[in-house]
Structures are given as structure tokens and as C-alpha cells.
């Protein structure tokens, strides 16, 4: 979402860093420390910024962060919520998906779970243009590939 002016005056990038940080719990220590420290980025600023922006997620949810470090030691970052598979595994209460999806059912989740996951995913940068219904369909598709059954209600 950059304006034309921003694109024309883009700062030179020095590196792209990816890591996983628990929501609201960034500290200037591993994994954040070594990854950002070597580019001389301001760790405190990142931690404070990241923690403030992830307040709306459940504490300690692992968030995928992508940081763009510029040559002048400034940086920008985007935060993605955990993958759909992570949410599905949590909702279904399992650690691993099914070994043989389509044949063996690992566990089940209800439509309400799907709806709740879709609502969280809607605030992700790449999902914002999708309708809630299409996000739900995509999540149900993922559930099928993991061998997780979607039921109307749990008995």
C-alpha cells in the first residue's frame, strides 16, 4: 500500500529477516537478539512495536514476522498470524495431522472453529480482499488435506 512517492524514494534495503516470535512477548534475546542485532537494528524499538501490535492476539501465539532492514539501520516489519494448519491443530487438539488424509481421520473441528479461525485470518495482510465465506472454504480445504473432519457440532 505504498504511494507513488514512496515507491520513487524507496530506501536501499540491506536484508530481509524472517523469524517466529510469540505474540506480546518479544524480548531483546534469542531469537530476536541475534537475528536483528547483527544488522544493528534497534532491538528495543522492534520489541515494543511488535508487542504493541500483537496485543490483539492470544499471548504467546507464534507469529511469523518478516523484517526489512534498510541500509540506514532503520527497519519495517509485517506480522502474519500463525498458519491455518497451526490453528486447526490447536482447535482439534492434536499435534500432527493425519498420516493418510482422506483415509484416516485425525480429529474433528466444528464449523464454529472454522468461523473463528477465518475471523482471525481476515486481518492478515494477504486475506483482506477475500470474503469471510471464501476464507472459510479455504480453511475447510486445508482441514481436508490434514485429515481433520469438519462437523456441524461435536457430540
Partner 1 sequence: MRGTHFFKHLSFISSWRISSQPRRLIHGVFPSPLSQRRLSSVFRNFSTSSSLPTTHSLTSPYFSVRISCPKDSADMLSEALLCFGASSTSMDEQGSDEGNDKICIDSIFSDRQDVDVCISHAADSVGLKELPSYEVRVGEQYDWIKKTQESFCPVEVTEGLWIVPEWRTPPDAHATNIILNPGFAFGTGEHPTTKLCLLLLHGLIKGGERFLDYGTGSGILAIAALKFGAASSVGIDVDPQAITAATQNAALNKISPNKMQLTLVPPDGRTHEVVEGQSPNSMGVTTESESFDIVIANILLNPLLDLADDIVSHAKPGAVVAVSGIISEQVPYIMERYSPLLESISVTEIDDWACVCGTKRRGLTVN
Question: Which residues would be at the binding site for partner 1 (CB under 8 A)?
Answer: 12-20, 22, 24-25, 27-45, 47-48, 51-53, 55, 59-62, 64, 69, 73, 82, 85-86, 95-97, 145-146
State the sign of the Cα–Cα–Cα–Cα dihedral 145, 154, 118, 132: positive
Q: Is 1 strand, coil or helix? A: coil
Going from the C-alpha of 36 to that of each of 23, 26, 78, 83, 143, the distances in angstroms are 17, 12, 15, 23, 35
Question: Min. distance of Cβ 65 from partner 1 in angstroms?
Answer: 9
As measured in angstroms, the least distance from the Cβ of 153 to partner 1 is 26
For residue 62 the three cell numbers come to: 507464534
CB of 144 to partner 1, least distance (A): 12
Question: Which residue's CB is nearer to partner 1, number 76 or number 131?
Answer: 76
Residue among 66 and 131 whose Cβ is closer to partner 1: 66
Amino acid at each position: 500500500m505504498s504511494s507513488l512517492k514512496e515507491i520513487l524514494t524507496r530506501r536501499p534495503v540491506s536484508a530481509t529477516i524472517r523469524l517466529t516470535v510469540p505474540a506480546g512477548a518479544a524480548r531483546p534475546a534469542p531469537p530476536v537478539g541475534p537475528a536483528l542485532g547483527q544488522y544493528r537494528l534497534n532491538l528495543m524499538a522492534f520489541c515494543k512495536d511488535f508487542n504493541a501490535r500483537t496485543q490483539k492476539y492470544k499471548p504467546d501465539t507464534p507469529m511469523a514476522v518478516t523484517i526489512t532492514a534498510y541500509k540506514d539501520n532503520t527497519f519495517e516489519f509485517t506480522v502474519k498470524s500463525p498458519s491455518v494448519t497451526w490453528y486447526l491443530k490447536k482447535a482439534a487438539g492434536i499435534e500432527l495431522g493425519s498420516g493418510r488424509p482422506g483415509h484416516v481421520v485425525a480429529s474433528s473441528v466444528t464449523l464454529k472453529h472454522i468461523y473463528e479461525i477465518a475471523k482471525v485470518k481476515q486481518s492478515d495482510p494477504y486475506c483482506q480482499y477475500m470474503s469471510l465465506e471464501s476464507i472459510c472454504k479455504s480453511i475447510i480445504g486445508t482441514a481436508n488435506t490434514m485429515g481433520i473432519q469438519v462437523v456441524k457440532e461435536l457430540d
